[in-house]
């Protein structure tokens, strides 16, 4: 059965309550796809492992600032960066066996997905930016995390 999570332009941040310390890290496959409207354009997607302690700073951090030149928060993040451009595959996968799970996200309570699609974005409230989606490990109960980057922002599905 599929559970769908969407980060809309209204910016619904998805967080579930519960005791995170008892959770085991989610080690599933991750698939990132660029939507049809963005195919052939340059898009960056970062998937960042974040602790419960650091979550508030990520919720309120500007996506424009994050992807800005020489940003220290981005440089220091426990992240995987996927880049898409003309002539590249429009879907990229990270296997559950990839070392990024052990090296970068092993102790993470959340995954923060940030995308930098082309176009003009009006960022009113960083916590509600459609280019950012925050996933609690409890929300990632499944075998595949599917992320699609489109003109309206991110769409995330856990299957």
70: CB partners within 8 A, 6+ apart: none
Please give the chain's pLDDT, 159 residues, in tens: 333 443 432 232 332 222 223 334 455 788 999 999 998 999 999 999 999 999 999 999 999 999 999 899 999 998 999 999 999 999 999 887 788 777 777 778 899 999 999 887 877 788 899 999 999 877 777 778 899 999 989 999 888
Among residues 150, 154, 153, 140, which one has the least CA distance to residue 30? 140
Q: What is the pLDDT of residue 14?
A: 30
Is residue 149 within 8 A of residue 133, CB to CB? The reply is no
Structure tokens at 70: 């020489």
Closest Cα to residue 57, out of 69, 43, 72? 72
- Tokens 């049809």, residue located: 36
CB 144 within 8 A of CB 28: yes
Q: Which domains does the chain have, with CATH numbers?
A: 3-158 (2.60.40.4150)
């Amino acid at each position: 059965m599929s559970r769908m999570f969407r980060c809309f332009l209204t910016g619904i941040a998805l967080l579930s309550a519960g005791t995170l310390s008892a959770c085991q890290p989610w080690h599933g496959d991750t698939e990132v796809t660029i939507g049809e409207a963005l195919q052939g354009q340059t898009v960056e997607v970062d998937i960042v492992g974040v602790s419960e302690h650091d979550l508030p700073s990520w919720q309120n951090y500007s996506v424009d600032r994050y992807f800005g030149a020489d940003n220290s928060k981005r440089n220091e993040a426990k992240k995987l960066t996927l880049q898409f451009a003309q002539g590249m595959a429009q879907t990229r996968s990270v296997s559950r066996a990839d070392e990024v799970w052990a090296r970068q996200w092993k102790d993470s309570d959340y995954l923060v997905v940030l995308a930098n699609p082309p176009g003009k974005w009006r960022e009113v409230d960083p916590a509600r930016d459609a280019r950012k989606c925050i996933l609690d490990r409890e929300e990632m109960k499944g075998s595949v995390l599917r992320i699609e980057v489109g003109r309206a922002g991110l769409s995330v599905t856990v299957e």
